[in-house]
Amino acid sequence: MSIKIASLALASGLLLASQPALASRPLALAIGQQVRGEITSASPINVNDGSRSQQYQLELDAGQAVRFEVSGALDATVSLLRDGELIARSGERGDGKVLTVRAPGKGRYLLAVNGKDARSFGPFALSSAPIQAYAGGPVPIGQTISDVADRARELQLQVDEAGLYEIRMASTDFDTVLSLHGDGVDASNDDANGSDSMITRYLQPGRYQLRADGFMEQMGGQYTLEVRRRALPEGVALAADGELEPGTQLRALYVGQPVSYRISVPGGQMLRVDMASNDFDSLLQLNGEGGLELTDDDSGDRLNARLMSMLPAGQYRIQPKAADQGTGVFTLKAELMDAPADAGGGRLQPGQTRSARLYGGADSYQVQIERAGSYVIDMQSDDIDSSLELLHNGASLAEDDDGGDGLNARIVELLQPGTYTIRARALYNYGGSEGSYRISINRR
């Protein structure tokens, strides 16, 4: 063993007390073999942290992937070196007793089983097992591949038949991050199931790029990747722009592409829209005249979305989306209901105070200003966190959340004669989206 080994081992935290200790004939280890050992006070010492270690010598081929695992009473870490250079160490991204590695070249390697610290002693069993690692080429559809990497891997996916595809990446060694690009698709996922990743997309025939990575680009160890084609439920078609008739339920496949449905809302009625999916986290957006925009994520059951609001008569667009970038089957249903007696919205006169109840979404008030001057708009509530917006000819003039007392909203604005719109809503991060409130506009 050379001086280079000692210096590099010091940098990696593996320096033993003396060269004779390092040269004390490491035990031979064959891949597929299980051996037993014990760390005692007589084991070679690592002067960097005082831990003790047992070394093994083994031969590996270039690109050979192996999994080493320590079991038993010893609180251990595992390190692999070649010519004094640290190749990999366990415990940096996963289980300290497991090390999965791909050999960078053919040759002789040194494997060290270390106590985790200076107080770690005890018996252990060391097992080594070969891994049939992915050798390259397009990822096969309908099969699971296993791979070992210490940095992000770029993989090719060839799709020959259009359809809904599910791609899963899983690892017990690190937190996975999966990305898919190509043919207009740009998707990524981190935590679909624990620390594993999953992307579901409707893919057209073509070649796509998969990127297998770890969270914060921290990747090291073994992972599996599976691509499979999913059958669509009978009667489900791709989501496409169209009309949404109140009282009917639409069932479609969302594939990550923008889609909108038109709906006509008469005056004096409340609109309720429900979106549900077992495949992804539903998100609803409603847009209308005058720049009106309402969104909802989880007001329905579980991760389903629900919009419920009194709206001025007019045409609206409803856009179903995925809050988690997922794809899959969803249902969409719109209903029109008679306005409750305490529903807000409509005309508001200067000097008038109205009491109303917000049923989610936003209430819109039309105000006619006859005299120019400074006006104060107040929204007060004990139930919700009030929020106000003032518009003129569809353009937003002012917004406020907590300009009044406590969580109440207030807008003070110089106004010229004309027609204005006031939108009253609740901030969803406090007290929910429904509750009673008072609203007024007064000239100062």
Spans of all domains in the chain: 27-131, 138-230, 237-337, 346-443
Residue 429 confidence (pLDDT) above 80: no
Lowest mean pLDDT among 79-93, 107-121, 159-173, 419-433: 419-433
Is residue 47 very low, low, confident or very high in pLDDT (cuts 50, 70, 90)?
low
Identical fold for domains 237-337 and 346-443, yes or no, is yes
Q: What is the average per-residue pLDDT within 54-59? A: 94
- pLDDT for the residue numbered 371: 95
Question: Does residue 36 or residue 44 have the better pLDDT?
Answer: 36
Span 106-120, pLDDT tens digits: 999 999 999 888 889
Span 182-215, pLDDT tens digits: 988 888 888 766 678 988 888 899 999 999 999 8
Domain made up of 27-131: CATH architecture: Sandwich (2.60)
Q: What is the percent of the chain with per-residue pLDDT over 70, rounded to a whole number?
A: 91
Topology classification of domain 237-337: Jelly Rolls (2.60.120)
Q: What is the average per-residue pLDDT within 352-377? A: 91
The CATH number assigned to the domain with range 346-443 reads 2.60.120.380
- pLDDT for the residue numbered 418: 95
**Residue 248, class by beta-carbon neighbours within 10 Å (0-12 exposed, 13-18 middle, 19+ buried)?**
exposed
The CATH number assigned to the domain with range 138-230 reads 2.60.120.380
